[in-house]
């Protein structure tokens, strides 16, 4: 079952590479009490993810913050080392990379996809706006598409909520 608007995110753990090594962060730590943008990509260093998806959120980060967002998170079914390297290569700036290495979070959301020999379990491409752990906006793209999860789409939806 796919997570729906007004549902609380399931408990999950993510990994992030820091100067002190890999740390584990829970959904409570990442989403509790804050307005958070979360977007997921099928894989770091892949064409659409690198050329369009992540760069869109990087370019619009300041506008998201002006719209009341506290944190922008990018997740993928990659390990923390790969996501950190990708973030650096993409100059991700204010977009924080959080690894869902085994795909447990994507699976618990009902947003995992088995890509077979291409890469195994991957996350579907999506974006969401989460307030204090509760999904307020959810945009999920069909496999191999990139339409509704774009940064500009989510930013406009967040702005519309403020009117």
Which region, left, alpha or beta, applies to residue 144 given φ > 0 means left and ψ of -120 to 50 means alpha? left
| Annotated catalytic residue, options 49, 54, 155, 158 | 49
3-state secondary structure of 117: helix
* Residue among 80, 113, 112 nearest 96 (CA): 80
> How many alpha carbons fall within 13 Å on the CB side of residue 148?
13
Answer yes or no: 74 catalytic: no
Catalytic residues: 49
């Amino acid at each position: 079952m796919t997570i729906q608007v007004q549902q609380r995110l399931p408990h999950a753990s993510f990994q992030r590479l820091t100067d002190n090594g890999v740390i584990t962060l829970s959904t409570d730590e990442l989403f509790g009490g804050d307005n958070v943008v979360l977007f997921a990509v099928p894989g770091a260093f892949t064409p659409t993810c690198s050329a369009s998806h992540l760069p869109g959120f990087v370019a619009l980060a300041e506008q998201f913050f002006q719209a009341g967002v506290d944190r922008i998170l990018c997740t993928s079914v990659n390990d923390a080392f790969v996501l950190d390297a990708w973030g650096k290569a993409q100059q991700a700036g204010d977009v924080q990379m959080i690894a869902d290495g085994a795909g447990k979070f994507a699976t618990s959301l009902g947003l995992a996809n088995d890509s077979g020999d291409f890469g195994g379990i991957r996350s579907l491409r999506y974006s969401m706006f989460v307030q204090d752990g509760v999904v307020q906006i959810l945009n999920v793209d069909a496999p191999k598409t990139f339409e509704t999860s774009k940064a500009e789409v989510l930013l406009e939806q967040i702005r519309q909520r403020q009117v």
